[in-house]
Structure 1
Amino acid sequence: MRPSVDTLTRAGALAGVLAAVGVLPWLSGRDPALTVLRARSAEQEPTREALDAVRRDLGLDAGPLPLLGQWAAGLAHGDLGTSWVSGSGVLPSVLAGLQVSLTLMGAALGVAVLLAAALVAPVLVRGRGSGGAVAAMLAAVPEFLLATVALLVCGVWLGLLPTSGWRGPGYLVLPAVALGVPAGGLLGRLVADALPAVLGERWVELWRGAGVSRVRIAAAALRRALPPLVPQFGMAAVGLTGGAVAVETVFAVPGIGRTALGAAKSQDLPLLQGAVLALLLLGLAVGAAAAFTRRRLLGPALRDASLALPAARPVRTHPAVPLTLFTLLAAAIGWGLLRDPYAVHTTARLAAPTVAHPLGTDGLGRDVLARLGHGAAITVGTAAAVCLLSLLAGLALGFLPGVAAGAADIANALPPVIVGILVAAVSGPGTGGAALAVALISWPPLAAHAAALVQEVRASAFLLAQRAIGAPPWWVLTRHVLPTVAGPVARHALLRLPGIALALASLGFLGLGAQPPAPEWGLLLDESRAYVERAPWAALAPAAALALLAGLAVTGAPYTQPRMKERTDG
């Protein structure tokens, strides 16, 4: 049996990612020999002879292919190499970090399930729910923002829970909540949106008439609604691996995400290789588990039959809501653009909000409002460029669904933070690297949308008529297919702009995006953490801007699940 095109592209994309991880020491723009030399002896002069000796010792002078072969051979024997900084084995460090991260992700998954159950319960009781907008807002809030707010409110102001370290169950609460709430909002929204259509089906009415208990009907409705949503659950679980990097960084949790980020910043490439490999395998394992769970829920009878999926309801919001959010955000940005974001006033450091500085000043005395306004050009402007790149890639791959499907599976298994770490290891942190990282994994939804539209247009009657009268393929493509597909996909890409801006802000928050003194929103939030107890307003301003952006992501681009006939044989 010959493998399908999507299987080959999936294998090729995975092999490409693994190869990139394997040759990271060779791809890195900085000299790894200098990193190792300084780690071994900080006082030794980095002469050419000393650096050449280190390169020979590491095998870097042999070129990328021998280096990849050595890494793969060690990997086959369970040897991930030796840390360039600490000199200890990489595998024990990776396993220790992975154990911490799995514990945190397990607790976060428990929080997510409890929150999702609370959001779904009203739908099961009344047949409809009223918390769709709340669930959507929770799902859109990025983990790093929620973690910062939780640290500020619960840890600093109220002093209820510890805010850093990993020394007991109490240290798990805030990180698990920050990581689990967005995932719970997403899961609850997906299920709550799908259940009303299921509860309106004929079999539910017949069961009620036959006296079947409400609990049994609710269980059957959940089983009916869950199979088509399980892949989305898998993607939410994969998102936990990316969100864990930010949450572990905020709360100083020694997990695998924080290990990978620290290794990237210190150029400890063997440790970075092991950590990224563990995160990648974890994401792929979650995806495989989701596929297996879906097949088990369907059962052997439905795997070989067509299943009509119920259509999910979009989140209904009043038109004034997105307009109000946009007005508030635009007003703050416009006001800030009139001010100087780089003027330093050391005598006004960490000043509280006044008439002269409406949002206060930061640690260098710079006006927070000015930096917030000018930061929009970096955050939102870069997101617009990423949207355009994703749109072009989605349109091109929409005409090659077999090729795109396999590569999309690998892209979906890589959160933006993980790709950002890899790109930063190669080219260094910066706005361009962050944009590239987000663009590399933001095209699959657009490609899937384009592929569905292309299939629909090609099967239409007017296109058959064009072919019948002898219209050349290029004419049909450029005058009929592409214009019909490009418009809806472009609107789809525009609706994803706020979410892409949040992804870029998360990379800036972790130090993988824009660098100081740029007033990028994620970077502003990260810089304010150093003095959050003395000047909380400096953190609240970018946090509020990002929250408004998350609100626009929800109200401007409501989730909809199109009604379709889905093959349930996997």
Structure 2
Amino acid sequence: MLPALSRAGTLCAVMGLVGMLPWISGRDPAASLLRARMGEQTPTPEALAAIRAQLGLADGPWVHLGQWLAGLVRGDWGVSWISGAPVLEGMLGALAVSWTLMAAAFGVALCCAGLIALPVLLRGLHGRPTQTAGVLAATLTALPEFMLSALFLVVFSVWLGWFPPYGWQGWSHVVLPALALGLPGGGLLGRLLGQALAASFHEAWIASWACAGISRARIARAVLRRSLPALMPQIGMIMVAMTGGAIAVEKVFSIPGLGRAVLGAASAQDLPALQAGLLLLLLNALAIGILANLIRVALLGRALTLGALPVTPPQSAPPDRRLWLVPLLVVLLLAGLVLWGLPRDPFSAQYLRLQAPGPALPLGADGLGRDVLARIAHGAFSTIGMAVLATGIALCLGLLMGMVPRLSIGLIEVTKATPPTMAALVTVAAMGPSAMGALVAVSTVAWAPLAAHTAALVAEARAKPHIAIAPVLGVGPLRLIQRSILPEVLAPVTRHAMLRLPGIALALAALGFLGLGARPPAPEWGLVLADMLPYVERAPLAVLMPVAALALLSVLGVSLAALLRR
């Protein structure tokens, strides 16, 4: 009952916030609608009053929200303030498009994750050390969807002509956006699956099964079943992100999906369309979250309730000191890039537009004649600094909320359904576009995957024999959490948070790319990409350098996570 109340309460709170967006923003919705309908004409007070009366805005946010909820009960989702057409039919059509794209992208992600985790599985079956290789996974995770979309558009549509560049008329239009959306998710899923497989191969039952002569194929199936339950919340999160979080991909390829439709409704202040789109996104996320949890419980079976899950022994062997060479090299490369460009001016337009690289201009100039190297170097402080701060906030919130999963399950699932772009729209409505607004927006949603991971690990920890019997022996709940449960979840969740550090940096860059974060002329990596993207054919090096810096940041996070193994 408590999880159901948590889901319902969170959903009502979010929809109430959405319903009050026009009033939170401080902008007059009637004026925005008149501009959308009549252009830039100066509205008269009489015209504004007539619009408010027609839309029911004069009664205030609470009355308007109550009328909308009453319409939902009757099956009336409202009509668009811009077109006057019912919003439900259009949003359902957009959701069907997003589901198709999600299915194709998730297939790409599964294939990619399988290829990344396969060496770990094979080494474990042959009794060799099961260290996970994170470079490929980190690189894929670090590739921003909007950058992949642009590159695929230029290479495979413009240069090679293999696929159509825009639209949604057939399966040929699905290939490029599915690859752009599925590869980063596959990198993340492959890394997490590799870690889970490596942990499962260290459990005692593996040796017992091998001595009993059980075939490797059966052991492989058992290891996969043992490893998948803790990953199900993350798989659900990836699927939700592919449904509603692909705004940049849908924007680049002009795909009429739900994320793009909601973004357009928010930009136009079309409140009925925005409410309907967000409600569909949230319901879709709740359904995926419930399904993922049911699959997790089914995979664990009776061991979850009987306290019979096998215990993973701690890794007593210290990590190889040579592993420090990778983060050290990455830090040196990033530091060298920053120190190389730090003395240069990132704001002065003193060069020719798109000037080619040369001795005096190592990475060339952007579309306004500014030094690209200087802008990337100065932008490292804001991008990396904000990403580290947002990751720390997300880790603390994720651990805190994940310890009380029954109470926070609704908030976790709804937050996972909210991509950073949607959170940024709400933040921008209240604070205006800014770097601080982007930090707040990303922090408010980045904790949810960590909380879901924490909740799954807490459930498995409570099912282990030595923890399940502790309350019978008189151990209090606070001491049990502090001494037994928290040590079980802290290291893997911290590694997960470090793995998400580049993704958080990419989210901040994506908000800058979409105009919802730092404002020009700030030398933020997302803005650098946005400024140079129209010129990717003429100045590819200037576009690829921010991506290369983010890839280095991702490799740094994964290599440091490997050093945190117990």
- How does the TM-score come out when normalised to structure 1? 0.82
Instruction: Tell me by how many angstroms 1:67 deviates.
Output: 1.0
1:260 and 2:257 aligned: no
Aligned twin of 1:69: 66
Deviation at 1:376, TM superposition (A): 2.3
Instruction: Tell me how far 1:123 sits from its aligned partner.
Output: 3.5
Larger deviation: 244-253 or 46-55?
244-253
- Judged with a 3 Å threshold, the aligned counterparts in structure 2 of structure 1 residues 309 and 353 are, in CA distance, closer, same or farther, namely farther
1:187 maps to a residue whose letter is L
Contact 1:83–1:270 (Cα < 8 Å) also in 2: yes
Cross-structure match for 1:469:
none
Deviation at 1:116, TM superposition (A): 2.2
Deviation of the 1:205 alpha carbon: 4.8
1:548 to partner: Cα distance: 1.9
Task: Tell whether the 8 Å contact from 2:202 to 2:313 is kept in structure 1 after alignment.
Answer: no
Cα distance change of structure 1 residues 558 and 267 upon mapping to structure 2, 3 Å threshold: farther
SS in structure 2 at match of 1:530: helix
| Secondary structure at the counterpart of residue 13 of structure 1 | helix
Question: Greater CA deviation, 51-60 or 422-431?
Answer: 422-431
How many Å separate the matches in 1 of 2:122 and 2:80?
55
Aligned to 2:86: 89
TM-score, scaled relative to structure 2: 0.82
Once the two structures are TM-superposed, the CA of residue 55 in structure 1 deviates from its matched residue by 0.9
CA 377–240 in structure 1, closer or farther in 2 if over 3 Å, else same: same
CA offset at residue 331 of structure 1? Answer: 2.0
Which of residues 498, 523, 528 in structure 2 aligns to 1:524? 528
- Residue number in structure 2 paired with 1:379: 383
Residue 189 of structure 2 corresponds to 187
Q: Deviations over 1:416-435 (max 9, x none)?
A: 22212332344443323211
CA distance 1:488–1:114, change in 2 (3 Å): closer
CA shift for structure 1 position 357: 1.6
Aligned equivalents of 1:81 and 1:499: distance in 2? 36
Residue 357 of structure 1 is aligned with which of 354, 361, 368? 361
- 1:333 aligned residue: 338
CA distance in 1, matches of 2:314, 2:370: 47
Task: Say if 1:223 and 1:297, in contact at 8 Å, map to a contact too.
Answer: yes
- Corresponding residue for 2:435? 431
1:198-347, aligned counterparts within 5 Å? Answer: 198-199=200-201, 201=203, 203-205=205-207, 207-208=209-210, 212-300=214-302, 302-308=304-310, 310=312, 318-345=323-350
Q: In the alignment, which residue of structure 2 is the partner of 1:147?
A: 149
**How many Å separate the matches in 1 of 2:397 and 2:230?**
26
> Which amino acid counterpart does residue 87 of structure 1 have in structure 2?
G
Contact 1:311 1:561 in 2 (8 A): no
Cα distance between partner residues in 1 of 2:215 and 2:310: 25
- Quickly say closer, same or farther: Cα 1:328–1:158, change in 2 above 3 A: farther
For 1:148 and 1:256, the matched residues in 2 are separated by: 20
Structure 1 residues 428 and 312: alpha-carbon distance in aligned structure 2, compared to 1, 3 A threshold? farther
Amino acid in the other structure paired with 1:77: R
Query: Greater shift after overlay, 552-561 or 412-421?
Result: 552-561
Q: After the TM superposition, which of the residue ranges 548-557 and 140-149 deviates more from structure 2?
A: 140-149
CA gap 1:77/1:183 in 2 versus in 1, 3 angstroms: same
Structure 1 distance, partners of 2:16, 2:48, is 25
Q: Which secondary structure does the structure 2 equivalent of 1:56 belong to? A: helix
Share of identical aligned residues, percent?
A: 51
Shift of 1:526: 1.9
Report the Cα distance in structure 2 between the residues aligned to 1:448 and 1:96, rounded to whole angstroms.
Answer: 30
Are residues 489 and 432 of structure 1, via their aligned partners in 2, closer, same or farther at CA, if it must alter by over 3 Å? farther
Aligned residue among 401, 405, 425 for 1:421 = 425
**Letter of the 2:419 counterpart:** P
SS in 2 for 1:318: helix
Cα displacement (A) at 1:415:
2.7
How many equivalent residue pairs? 535
Deviation at 1:301, TM superposition (A): 6.2
Q: Tell me the residue number matched to 1:79.
A: 76
Aligned residue runs from structure 1 range 537-548, under 5 A: 537-548=541-552
1:250 Cα deviation from its structure 2 partner: 2.3
- Corresponding residue for residue 172 of structure 2: 170
Contact 1:14/1:410, CA 8 A, preserved across alignment: yes
Deviations 1:266-319 (A, max 9, x none): 333332222222222222211111011112223356544442354798998821
Q: How does 1:417-496 map to 2 (within 5 A)?
A: 417-444=421-448
Q: 1:300 to 1:394 in 2, by over 3 A?
A: closer
Q: Confirm or deny: 8 A CA contact 2:167 2:254 kept in the other structure.
A: yes
Q: Distance in 2 between matches of 1:335 and 1:416?
A: 32
Report whether the alignment pairs 1:40 with 2:41: no
Q: Which digits, 9 at most, give the CA deviation of each residue in 1:95-143, with x for residues without a partner?
A: 1211111111000111112222223333443425676212343234332
State the partner residue of 1:24.
Answer: 21
| 2:101 maps to 1:104 | yes
Work out whether residues 152 and 176 of structure 2, in 8 Å CA contact, stay in contact via their aligned partners in 1. yes
Give me the whole-angstrom Cα distance separating, in 2, the residues matched to 1:357 and 1:272: 46
8 Å CA contact 1:228–1:309 kept in 2: the answer is no
AA aligned to 1:32 is P
For residue 557 of structure 1, give the secondary structure of its aligned residue in structure 2.
helix
Distance in 2, matches of 1:358 and 1:124, equals: 44
Deviations 1:17-76 (A, max 9, x none): 121123323333321111211222226531111111111111111111101111112222
How far is 1:392 from its partner?
6.9
Asked if residue 121 in structure 1 is aligned to residue 109 in structure 2, the reply is no
Q: 1:19, 1:296 → 2: CA distance?
A: 35
Q: Secondary structure at the match of 2:323?
A: coil
**Counterpart residue identity of residue 167, structure 1:** Q
Q: Secondary structure at the match of 2:301?
A: helix
Q: CA deviation at 1:506?
A: 1.7
- Partner residue, 2:133: 132
Cα pair distance change 1:335/1:270, threshold 3 Å: farther
Whether contact under 8 Å (2:282, 2:414) holds in the other structure is no
Q: 1:514: which partner in 2?
A: 518
Contact 2:502–2:550 at 8 Å: present in 1 too? no
Aligned pair 1:58/2:55, yes or no? yes
Distance 1:446 1:108, change over 3 A: closer
Is there any run of 5+ residues in structure 1 with no aligned partner, and where?
460-472, 563-570
Aligned to 1:470: none
Task: Please report how far the alpha carbon of residue 380 of structure 1 lies from its aligned counterpart in structure 2 after TM superposition.
Answer: 2.8
Question: For 1:414-457, what per-residue CA distance to the aligned partner results, in whole angstroms no more than 9, with x for missing partners?
Answer: 2322212332344443323211111212345777999999x99x
Given the superposition, is the C-alpha separation of residues 311 and 42 from structure 1 closer, same or farther in structure 2, using an over 3 Å criterion?
Answer: farther
Aligned counterparts of 1:296 and 1:394: Cα–Cα separation in 2: 25
Shift of 1:352: 1.2
| Structure 1 residues 266 and 366: alpha-carbon distance in aligned structure 2, compared to 1, 3 A threshold | farther
From 12, 15, 26, the equivalent of 1:15 is 12
8 Å Cα contact 2:355-2:364 kept in structure 1:
yes
| Amino acid corresponding to residue 379 of structure 2 in structure 1 | G
Q: Residues 200-236 of structure 1: CA distance to partner in whole angstroms, max 9, x if unpaired?
A: 5555455555554433332232223222322222222
CA distance in 1, matches of 2:509, 2:311: 36
Cα drift, residue 156 of structure 1: 4.2
Following the alignment from structure 1 to structure 2, what is the Cα–Cα distance between the partners of residues 315 and 297?
32
Over 3 Å counting, the alpha-carbon distance change for 1:242 and 1:367 in structure 2 is farther
Do the aligned partners of 1:197 and 1:312 also contact (CA within 8 Å) in 2?
no
